[in-house]
A and B are shown apart, each in its own frame.
Chain A
Amino acid sequence: MNMSLIGLEISVIGLGLVLMLADLFMPAERRKFVGYAGIAALGAMLLFSFADVGTCSIAGTAFNGSFINDGISLFFKRFFILAAILVLFIAAEFSDRFAVGSVAEYYSLVVFALAGMLFAASANDFVMLFVSIELITITFYVLVSFQRSKLASLEAGVKYLILGALSSSFMIFGIALIWGTTGELNFTKLAAVAPQFETSKIFLLGVLLVLVGLGFKIAAFPFQIWAPDVYQGAPTPTTAFLAIGSKAAGFVLLLRFLFTAVPSVTMHWGKLLIILSGITILYGNLCALPQRNIKRLLGYSSIAHAGYLLLGVAALNAAGQTAILYYLAGYLFTVLAAFLVIALVLRHLDTDDISGLAGLGQRSPLLAATMTISMVSLAGIPPLAGFFGKFLLLKSVVEAAQATGNQGYYCLVFTALAGVVMSLYYYFGVVRMIYWSKEPSDMSPIALSPAAKLTAWICIMGIFWLGLFPNSVLVLAGEAAKALGK
Chain B
Amino acid sequence: MSILTYIAGWPLLAALALIVVPRNYRVIIRAIAVLATLISAVLAIKLFCQFVPGAAGYQFEQQIPWVQSLGISYHVGVDGINVGLILMGAIVAFAAALCSFEIQTREKEFYILLLVMTGGILGAFASLDLFFFYFLHELALVPTFIMIGVWGRGEKKNYATFQITLYLSVGALIALIGLIALHLQSGANTFDIPKLIEHVKTHPFSQGAQHLIFPLLLFGFGILVSLWPFHTWAPLGYGVAPSPTAMLHAGVLKKFGLYGLIRIALPMLPEAAQCWAQVLAWLCIGNILYVGWVAMRQKDLNLLIGNSSVAHMGFIFLGIASLNLIGISGAVIIMIAHGFLAALTFALSGYIYQQTGTLQMCELGGLCRKLPFIGTALLMAAMAGCGLPGFANFVGEATVFFGAWTVFPAVTVIALWGALVIGGVYMTRAIRNVLHGPLVEKWNSLTDAGHLWRKLPYALLLASLLVFGFWPRLLTEKINPDVEKIVAQIPPAFCVSSSGRESAQNPFAASQSRLAPAATK
Is B457 on the interface with A (CB-CB < 8 A)?
Answer: no
| Cβ contact within 8 Å between A420 and B177 | no
Assuming A381-B138, A387-B138, A474-B69, is B184 touching A399 (CB within 8 A)?
yes
The contact of B166 among A376, A421, A474, by CB within 8 Å, is A421
A-contact bits for B163-207, CB 8 A (1 contact / 0 none):
001100110011011001101110000000000000000000000
Are A394 and B66 neighbours in the complex by a CB distance under 8 Å?
no
Tell me how far the C-beta of B119 lies from the nearest C-beta in chain A, rounded to whole angstroms.
11
Q: Per-residue 0/1 for A358-376: is the Cβ within 8 Å of any B Cβ (1 yes, 0 no)? A: 0000000000000000001
B60 interfacial by beta-carbon distance below 8 Å: no
Cβ contacts under 8 Å, B353 to chain A: none
Residues on A with beta carbons closer than 8 Å to the beta carbon of B149:
428, 432
Q: Are A398 and B69 in contact (CB under 8 A)?
A: no
Q: Say yes or no: B139 contacts A382, CB within 8 Å.
A: yes
Chain B contacts with A in 128-148, Cβ cutoff 8 A: 131, 135-136, 138-139, 142, 145-146
Which chain B positions have C-beta within 8 A of A461? none
Instruction: Mark each residue of chain A from 393 to 429: 1 if its CB lies under 8 Å from any CB of chain B, else 0.
Output: 0110011011000000000011001001100110010
Interface check A436, CB cutoff 8 A? yes
The answer, among B69, B135, B162, for a CB contact under 8 Å with A382, is: B135
The answer to whether B177 and A417 touch across the interface, beta carbons within 8 angstroms, is yes
The answer to whether B165 and A424 touch across the interface, beta carbons within 8 angstroms, is: yes
> Any chain A CB within 8 A of the CB of B70?
yes
CB distance from B86 to the nearest CB of A (A): 20
**Contact call A421/B169, Cβ cutoff below 8 A:** yes
B-chain residues with CB within 8 Å of residue A163 when the two chains form the complex: none
Contact A471 B177, beta carbon cutoff 8 Å: no
Asked if B67 CB lies within 8 Å of chain A CBs, one says: yes
Closest-CB distance, B141 to chain A (whole angstroms): 9
Verify if A478 is at the interface (C-beta below 8 Å from B).
yes
Per DSSP, are chain B's interface residues mostly helix, strand or loop, or mixed?
helix
Q: Are B184's CB and A383's CB within 8 A?
A: no
Contacts of B136 in A (CB 8 A): 382
Within the assembled complex, what's the spacing in Å between the Cα atoms of A288 and B57?
Answer: 49
A470 sits at the interface (CB 8 A): yes
**Pair B165/A436 contact, Cβ less than 8 Å:** no
Q: Roughly how many angstroms separate A483 CA and B184 CA in the complex, as a whole number?
A: 24
Chain B residues with CB under 8 Å of A398's CB are 177, 180-181, 184
Q: Which chain A residues border B445 with CB–CB below 8 Å?
A: none
Does residue B68 face the partner (Cβ distance < 8 Å to A)? yes
Query: How many residues on B have C-beta within 8 angstroms of the other chain's C-beta atoms?
Result: 31
| Chain A neighbourhood of B135, CB < 8 A | 382-383, 387
Q: Which of A376, A399, A401, A417 contacts B173 (CB 8 A)?
A: A417
Q: Is the CB of B67 within 8 A of A471?
A: yes
Q: Does B150 contact A (CB under 8 A)?
A: yes
Contact bitstring A6-20, B, C-beta under 8 A = 1, else 0: 000000000000000
For A414, what are the chain B residues with a Cβ–Cβ distance below 8 Å? 177
Residues of chain A within 8 A (CB-CB) of B66 are: 470-471
> Contacts of B165 on A, CB cut-off 8 Å?
424, 428
Q: Which residues of B contact A151 (CB under 8 A)?
A: none
- Shortest Cβ distance from A466 into chain B, in angstroms? 12
CA–CA, A432 and B157, complex, Å: 14
A475 at the interface (CB under 8 A from B): yes
A449-486 near B? 1/0 per residue, CB < 8 Å: 00000000000000000000011001100100000000
Q: Would you call B69 and A436 a contact (CB within 8 A)?
A: no
**CB-defined contacts of B138 to chain A, threshold 8 Å:** 381-382, 387
Chain B nearest CB from A397 CB (Å) reads 9
Out of B109, B170, B177, B180, which one reaches A421, CB within 8 Å?
B170
The CA-CA distance from A421 to B168 in the complex, in Å, is 10
Interface residue ranges of B208-256 to A (CB < 8 Å): 209
Instruction: Please give, as numbers and ranges, the residues of chain A lying within 8 Å of B180 by CB-CB distance.
Output: 391, 394-395, 398
Cα(A417)–Cα(B135), bound, Å: 16
Q: Which residue of the partner chain A has the closest CB to B116?
A: A383
Give chain A nearest CB distance to B5 CB in angstroms: 15
Q: Which residues of A contact B150 (CB under 8 A)?
A: 435-436
Q: Give the complex CA separation of A402 and B184 in angstroms.
A: 8
> In the assembly, what is the distance between CA of A42 and CA of B166, in Å?
44
- A403's nearest neighbour on chain B, judged by CB, is B184
Instruction: Say yes or no: B173 contacts A421, CB within 8 Å.
Output: yes
Most chain B CB inside 10 Å of its own CB: which residue of A376, A382, A428, A432: A382
Contacts of B173 in A (CB 8 A): 417, 420-421
Contact check, B166 vs A394: say whether CB atoms are below 8 A apart. Answer: no
Q: Quick one: which of B66, B136, B150, B177 has the most chain A CB within 10 A?
A: B177
Chain A neighbourhood of B166, CB < 8 A: 421
Known: A382-B139, A417-B174, A424-B169. A474 touches B184 (CB 8 A): no
Closest to A477 in B: B69
Q: Which residue of chain B is the closest to A469 with respect to CB atoms?
A: B66
What residues on B are CB-neighbors of A391 within 8 Å? Answer: 131, 176, 180
Contacts of B67 in A (CB 8 A): 470-471, 474
User: Among the listed B145, B176, B185, which residue makes an inter-chain contact with A402, where contact means beta carbons less than 8 Å apart?
Assistant: B185
> Which A residues are in CB contact (< 8 Å) with B184?
395, 398-399, 402
Instruction: Tell me the minimal C-beta distance from A438 to chain B in angstroms.
Output: 13
- The distance from the CB of A435 to the nearest CB of chain B, in whole angstroms, is 8
CA separation between A387 and B67, bound complex, in Å? 15
Q: Are the CB atoms of B142 and A381 closer together than 8 Å?
A: yes
Complex Cα–Cα for A382 and B24 (A) = 29
Q: From residue B240, how far is it (CB to closest CB) to chain A in Å?
A: 16
Min C-beta distance of B511 to chain A, whole Å: 30
User: Smallest Cβ distance from B60 to chain A, in angstroms?
Assistant: 23
Over the window 250-276 of chain A, the binary record of Cβ atoms lying under 8 Å from chain B Cβ atoms (1 yes, 0 no) is 000000000000000000000000000
Residue of B nearest to A417 (CB): B173
B68, B136, B149, B184: which has the most chain A beta carbons within 10 Å? B184
Known: A421-B166, A421-B169. A383 touches B176 (CB 8 A): no
Nearest B residue to A394 by beta-carbon distance?
B180
In the bound complex, CA of A75 to CA of B70 (Å) = 20
Task: Specify which chain B residues have a CB less than 8 angstroms from the CB of A383 in the assembled complex.
Answer: 135, 139
B residues within 8 Å of A by Cβ? Answer: 66-70, 109, 131, 135-136, 138-139, 142, 145-146, 149-150, 162, 165-166, 169-170, 173-174, 176-177, 180-181, 183-185, 209
22 A-B pairs (CB sep. < 8 Å): A376-B142, A382-B136, A383-B135, A383-B139, A387-B135, A387-B138, A391-B176, A391-B180, A394-B176, A394-B180, A398-B180, A420-B169, A420-B173, A428-B145, A428-B165, A435-B109, A436-B150, A470-B67, A471-B66, A471-B68, A474-B70, A478-B69
4 nearest A-B pairs in the assembled complex, by CB-CB distance = A417-B173, A398-B180, A382-B135, A421-B169
A contact set with B: CB distance below 8 Å? 376, 381-383, 387, 391, 394-395, 398-399, 401-402, 413-414, 417, 420-421, 424-425, 428, 432, 435-436, 470-471, 474-475, 478
> Known contacts A417-B174, A432-B149; can you find 16 more A-B pairs with CB under 8 A?
A382-B135, A382-B138, A391-B131, A391-B176, A395-B180, A398-B177, A399-B184, A402-B181, A402-B184, A417-B177, A420-B173, A421-B173, A424-B169, A425-B162, A471-B66, A478-B69
